[in-house]
Amino acid sequence: MLTRRRRVLTSTASVAFVALACTGVAPRRASAESAPVAPVSASPSAPPRIEVAFVLDATGSMGSYIAQARARIRAIAKELATGTPTPDVRFALVAYRDHGEAFVTKITPFTADIEVMGKALDGTSAEGGGDTPESVLEGLDDAVRKLAWTPPADLGVVRLVYLVGDAPPKIYPDTPSEASIASEARARRIAIHGVVCGSGDSAVEPAFEAVARHTEGRIFRLDDGGRHRGGIDDGRGAASLASALTGATKAYSSSIGVSFDAGAPAVATTPLAVADGAVKTSGLRGGHARWVRNADTLADLWAAHVSLTPAAMRPPMPSVDFTKSHLLVLGGGGGNADERLALDGVVATSTGRAARVHAAKDGAGAGALERGVTFVLVPVATTEGGAQ
């Protein structure tokens, strides 16, 4: 019997976007392959688990960022422990430099002991790195393949990699490809996020974005002082490396039933009228929940949704006024009822909106189960600083 464990997907100023996963026509900023679906726990007696691996550039220019991670790792762990139910949290570290340095990669295995991780960061100094490109892909590959991640069959786990660096990859003959790393990450249900530090090398962001976009990850940008200077998807909110990592981890942890918004007031929502009767099977596969905050993202998502429908029968994209509403898209295509998601409600939090969802196996007709996608308008939260 499928557990109806609730999940919470946040639409906040800092971590509003759960990246697009699709099949069929490739959208402009997402992979054409299915990324990991948001899991539903099949083991209600076991606590949810959060596994976070830092892949950290340990060359000379990264000193201030390493110091920030070192200073804040305990606070990050403490903040994540405030979730309901309380999750088990494990951290790992892969430090990387480059060929010819003291090491190419150095691995600290997963541990639930935050003091062990603190000591690993204490022992990570920023040295070397005379030329700009570094062994970024070697570090990522070791994180994905060599760390002892919980097997992907366990659906009560969220698996996150944070790639933190200020230099693009250096490619050697034996360097693993971005495509192979992303493919292995998807197979293991790992989302890779890129944290671009500083403003020196313009090649860093495209390189980090390439692997993040293919694994349901996001990009964060930090200025030379370690402050957040905008994300590719929402561009606001996180004040530091620590807050970016904490916020994103909270958002993704909602997919395994961990809530950080107890007691939040409800927000009224409106179903979006969508003329998609001709869409018998959606190209948005697997259980998914996505916040859409702009027309470009909606265009990408709609193209994926109708991609399995003959071109002559594809309905037009619906119109949304994003100055007034954001769009929550829930689904589970392919006729698999066990992966379809339904909305329990949306609540207002201190930083935006959060949607509570559950796996839906009943109460819908065969057509709805086959198509399995719901579009819901959610009023934009407003603060003194403007819309969130």
Residue by residue, DSSP assigns 325-338 as EEEEEEEEETT-GG
Check pLDDT > 60 for residue 81.
Answer: yes
Q: Where in the chain are the domains? A: 7-41+259-383, 49-256
Lowest mean pLDDT among 15-29, 52-66, 153-167, 239-253: 15-29
Lowest mean pLDDT among 38-52, 82-96, 125-139, 269-283: 38-52
What CA–CA distance (Å, rounded) separates 53 from 32?
26
200 vs 159, residue with greater confidence: 159
Both structure tokens of 270: 């409106």
CATH class of 49-256: alpha beta
- Residues 6 or more apart in contact with residue 335 via CB below 8 angstroms: 281, 369, 370, 372
**Do the beta carbons of residue 121 and residue 70 sit within 8 Å?**
yes
**Do the beta carbons of residue 135 and residue 104 sit within 8 Å?**
yes
| Percent of the chain at pLDDT exceeding 70 | 70
Please say whether the dihedral angle defined by the alpha carbons of residues 275, 280, 284 and 290, taken in this order, is positive or negative: positive
Check pLDDT > 50 for residue 154.
Answer: yes
**Do the beta carbons of residue 375 and residue 279 sit within 8 Å?**
no
CA distance readout (Å), 321 to 230, 294, 300: 23, 9, 17
pLDDT value for 187: 93
Closest CA to 383 of 341, 339, 345, 351: 351
pLDDT digits (tens, 9 = 90+) for 211-240: 888 887 888 887 644 443 333 333 333 456
Lowest mean pLDDT among 53-67, 120-134, 373-387: 373-387
**Do the beta carbons of residue 17 and residue 355 sit within 8 Å?**
no
pLDDT value for 72: 72
pTM, entire model = 0.63
What CA–CA distance (Å, rounded) separates 328 from 16?
11
Q: What is the mean pLDDT of residues 18-35?
A: 29
Both structure tokens of 77: 């762990």
Check pLDDT > 90 for residue 16.
Answer: no
Check pLDDT > 90 for residue 332.
Answer: no
Both structure tokens of 5: 């464990």
* Predicted confidence band of residue 94 (pLDDT cuts 50, 70, 90): very high
Check pLDDT > 80 for residue 83.
Answer: yes
50 vs 342, residue with greater confidence: 50
**Do the beta carbons of residue 189 and residue 159 sit within 8 Å?**
yes
